[in-house]
Every structure is written in C-alpha cells, then in structure tokens.
Amino acid sequence: MPSPSPPASCAICGDERQYVPASGQRWTWIDELRAAGHRNVLEPLEPGLTQIRTEPSFAIGQQAYLVQAPDGNVLWDSVSYLDDETIAAVRELGGIRAIAISHPHFYSSCVEWAHAFDAAVWLPSADSRWVMRPDVSIRHFDEDEVALAEGVRVVRIGGHFHGSTVLSWSAGGQGRGVLLTGDSIATVGDPGSVTVMYSYPNRIPLSAAEVRDVAKRVLALPFDRLYAGWDGDVIGSGAHEAVERSLERYARMAEGTWVRS
C-alpha cells in the first residue's frame, strides 16, 4: 500500500556502498517524472537484445536490457521510469516473462514493471534485507543460479553485494555468449579491462579473496561479449579474457604480489 508520506531516509542510499549528497535526498514519483518530460528510449543492440534507458537521464542513470528468448523475454535490471508508451513498446517485443536485477542499487521500480507485465522478479535471498517494497511478485532464491528462460540464467557471483548477480545469455553475441553485469562487474577506461568494487562511488575495494571468488564464479560461464550498467559500457569481444586478466591483476595487487611495470 502506498505510504502517506516519504520515508525518513533511504536505507540503500545510506549504506556505505552508495551515498547521500550534501544537498540531501529528494523524493519523487513516476507521475512527477512524466510531468517533467522524462521518457524511455528502446534501442536494439543486437538480435534479441534491446537497451532501455530513460531520457533525460534520471538518478544514477543506469539502463535495463530486454533479452528475447524462445519461451519468454527476460528484463535485466530496471529503470525507475515506466509509462504506457514503454509498456506498449515492450509488449510489441513479446512482453516480459521474468525480471532479474544485478544488485539493490538497481531495484528501483521493479515492482511496477512486474505488475505491468504480470512477471516475477527474481532476487537472491542474500540481499533480501535491501528490498524496500515487499511484493508478491518477488521470488527470493537461495540457489547460485536460476534458469529464467531458454538459454538465460541469473547467476549469483557476490562481490559488490553478497547477492550481486549477472545474467548469462548463451544465444547472444552470435552464439558465443553474452554476459550482462549491471554493477556486479563494471567496465572502466581501458576498453579491455573491468573491475569489481565494494563501493564504486566511495572507492572501497574488495579483498583479494572476494575478487578470486567472483572470478571463479563468473569465469565458469560461457561469454565473449559483456554489457554493463550504463550506455556504452560494452566489451564487444574477448570479454571472457578481459574479465580473467583484470580480476587476476586486481587480486594480485591486493595481495601485494603484482609486479609493477
């Protein structure tokens, strides 16, 4: 049920992995965004994959991805804004069977998206404390991976959050496999490198052991292409090698065994 007034604070923003700016928090809602002229743009990236982003950019500016599978589509991550035009456009692409989200910073309006398409939202039990709006559409899972559609799996890799996940799409990338990572694995300035962090805005790293655990989990997946959480965050080919090389370097640097050039 909608609350009569905004919460006193946002628990997710108040966590050390995120932050509240010096100007403080400002609460808004979808109708206000609509009145301000926001809209969603759907852009095909490759056969079976469509990017969904909000313009003008809102909040931290993440984007969502619609993965089309033979037995139903999967929405990966969530944008806060949703309107009738977006719902109609997504339905033209086959609607949404399931929703999976990389980590709590992207939970945003996932319940509204679930209600619009009668879809389940699959979230790891490890991050259940960060669900600020409990709803019957949310399915918490304890397994390390769940098959959401044919060739589409959500896989828990940890790191950024205990329950941080990635989406493995075997048919993507011309059949060489695609990994969608949100903020669980982030692209960086070097187009052949990635990183993982406990907190990205506050520059808090992970331990070497945590980085190696992330690497072990993600490198067991088949992928050649990687899409992260923001527009243009793409490694078009060789992504598996880029992740392996980057995380090994990170772990050895944290251990003090990396030889500087």
Report pLDDT digits (tens) over 65-86: 999 999 999 999 999 999 999 9
Supply the pLDDT for residue 1. 54
Burial letters 244-260, b for 16+ CB under 10 A, else e = eebbeebbeebeeeeee
E strands along the chain, which residues? 39-46, 49-55, 64-67, 74-76, 98-100, 120-124, 138-141, 145-149, 152-156, 165-169, 178-182, 186-187, 194-195, 225-228, 234-235
* CB-based burial label for 78 (10 Å; 0-12, 13-18, 19+): buried
Supply the pLDDT for residue 227. 98
What global pTM score does this model have?
A: 0.94
Supply the pLDDT for residue 113. 97
HSE (side-chain half, CA atoms, 13 Å) at 65: 32
CB 16 within 8 A of CB 197: no
In the chain, what are the domains?
11-19+38-255 (3.60.15.10)
| Residue among 144, 134, 192 nearest 166 (CA) | 144
Q: For the chain, list residues with pLDDT below 70.
A: 1-2
> CA 56: distance to chain centroid?
20
Euclidean distance between CA atoms 151 and 42, whole angstroms: 23
85: which 2 tokens? 């035009």
CB 140 within 8 A of CB 163: no
Residue 33: C-alpha distances to residues 38, 104, 162, 199, 217 (Å): 6, 21, 32, 28, 38
Residue 108: C-alpha distances to residues 20, 59, 62, 208, 243 (Å): 16, 10, 10, 30, 27
CB 251 within 8 A of CB 215: yes
Supply the pLDDT for residue 260. 83
